[in-house]
A and B are shown apart, each in its own frame.
Chain A
Amino acid sequence: MKYIIAVIKPFKLDEVREALGSIGVAGMTVSEVKGFGRQKGQTEIYRGAEYSTNMLPKVKIEVAASDDLAAQVVETIQQTARTEAIGDGKIFVFDLASATRIRTGETGDTAL
């Protein structure tokens, strides 16, 4: 099993959720986050003074997927969340040691 974390542009969330649903992803965890990458945010002016918004708002989605599905999940997120502009985000993949459904105690792929 793989655990996939993707940081994407907030307005892309609905599209990504639908695309992942259509390839068989049953659930995900979403959080509103802030961060920066190579761009280091941007500079704005407020009441005549310059300030840098070095933490830009992003959405972090977390998906646990079976080994067969993992590559497809990454590809789907990459295709869907892409605007070809800077700040589109990143996708990280981890090995997932175990998964347990709390209600039934099921483990492994069936718990996903």
Chain B
Amino acid sequence: MKRTLSRSAAPALAALALAGVGMTAPALAQDVADPAALAAAEAVSGGTAYILNTLLFLIGGFLVMWMAAGFAMLEAGLVRSKNVSVQCLKNIGLYSIAGLMFWVIGYSIAYPGFEGGFFGIGDFPYAMQGVGEADTETGYSIASDWFFQMVFCATTASIVSGAVAERVKLVPFFIFVTVLTGFIYPVIVSWEWGAGWLDAMGFSDFAGSTLVHSTGGWAALMGVLIIGPRLGRYGKDGKVAVFPGSSIPLATLGTFILWLGWFGFNGASQLAMGTIGDVSDVSKIFVNTNMAAAAGVVVAIIATQLRYKKADTTMALNGALAGLVAITAEPLTPNVGMAIVIGGIGGLLPVIFVPILDRFKIDDVVGAIPVHLVAGIWGTLAVPLTNPAVPFLAQLTGVVATGVFVCALSAIVWFALKATIGVRPSEEEELAGLDLSETGIEAYPEFARTSGS
């Protein structure tokens, strides 16, 4: 579904133009027999719809912005203490680079302004409206739209940082983020939300299981494969050396923050709040989003308890996120039962795929690939289960096309970085922790392993 025009603001505006009714109380609507008058009674005036639509973008936008904090805390908690400072710097750095790149060129590629295409560039850099001006023909402030789209771009980059944590230097990582947020992600978005060729064939990705999460997941997978595992992670006999995270409370807080942010991610992807129908849909999306995450957690706890005789906290955290990623492709059409099924299966995926990745020596520090890539694919393919208007073949095409494009470009960038400036610190630096060699300051200096007091 394209994401440039709000889905139902226009009919609401039309209804208003006919009836000229302002803020009618919803209760009154039931007493009105005439359908036109009914629609009018349920709608708000054009200016109010503009304000409500814009408000939805702004609230959703800052909730999704806050997900950057969630990723930062999740990753800070799941890396070892000697890499925490670098991990925090990567997270605030990537969020900032994503914003800059999405303004310079990203948005113009993502929304080129024509339909059915593979690639195009609209006007750039993106022009915001002037002081006091409004964009009444779109039904919302274009600045609020830009802000809302930008924070999704940042989320994609956040996914990569967790997977490749603890063994990639700052500069090559930031260069990769620059290309990802300025080019790779915007092209994928243009195919669907920018009314490109995937949108034309009926592909549907409501809030970005494929566009955001799988894109980040594929980019992360390429990074992990090309950079290689952390030193000492896999023994010659295939034994996995466990590197427990530095702070389970931080990882838990990060997960809760992401869960909160997801109400903006999915809820505000309704893109309109100017009618009773829209605001009800946003509410239903909130419920489905929450229930999918809850089911993901419960399934992950039960699965680890059954398989390992002990529940695994970090798997429960992954389960919440995988449930959220799974419901993101279609959070509106499922009933609560189906949302629980989609999220619950999502929550099972990390429990299955984390050990499988380890078997292939794919060292994903935080479980980003099972959570964002695998659950993203599942959520995308599950859309036709509850939304019969969406053809399965289109979903499959979207998943495969995204995988091929993102993998090819990500691999080129990672290989180019590896061949030129190098992606890894020296063995000595990696073993000492990247905090010292990259930032010079450890996250927890009270426990410094270095000399001096």
Contact = CB atoms under 8 A, between A and B. Distances in A.
Contacts of B242: 46-47, 49-51
A56 to B, nearest CB: 15
Nearest to B355: A48
Interface size class of A (residues with CB under 8 A): under 10
Interface stretch (B58-66, B307-315, B327-335, B415-423): B307-315
- The interface centre, meaning the residue of A46, A47, A48, A50 with most chain B CB atoms within 10 A of its CB, is A47
B314 A47 contact: yes
B355 A46 contact: no
Contacts of A97: none
Contacts of A85: none
Contact of B312 (A45, A50, A51): A45
Contacts of A46: 242, 244, 312, 314
Contacts, number: 31
Interface residues of B, number: 14
A51 B310 CA distance: 14
Contacts of A51: 241-242, 244
Contacts of A49: 240, 242, 355, 358
B98 interface: no
Interface string A50-82: 110000000000000000000000000000000
B57 to A, nearest CB: 37
Nearest to B356: A48
A59 B21 CA distance: 76
Nearest to A51: B242
Interface in B109-125: none
Contact of B315 (A44, A47, A50): A47
Contacts of A48: 308, 312, 315, 351, 354-355, 358
Nearest to B309: A45
Nearest to A45: B308
A103 B242 CA distance: 49
Contacts of B367: 47
Given A51-B241, A51-B242, A45 B351 contact: no
A44 B358 CA distance: 17
Interface of B: 240-242, 244, 308, 310, 312, 314-315, 351, 354-355, 358, 367
The 5 closest A-B pairs by CB, nearest first: A51-B242, A48-B355, A49-B240, A45-B308, A46-B242
Given A48-B312, A48-B354, A51-B242, 18 more contacts: A44-B310, A45-B310, A45-B312, A46-B242, A47-B242, A47-B312, A47-B314, A47-B354, A47-B355, A48-B308, A48-B351, A49-B240, A49-B355, A49-B358, A50-B240, A50-B242, A51-B241, A51-B244
27 contacts: A44-B310, A45-B308, A45-B310, A45-B312, A46-B242, A46-B244, A46-B312, A46-B314, A47-B242, A47-B312, A47-B314, A47-B315, A47-B354, A47-B367, A48-B308, A48-B312, A48-B351, A48-B355, A48-B358, A49-B240, A49-B242, A49-B355, A49-B358, A50-B240, A51-B241, A51-B242, A51-B244
Interface of A: 44-51
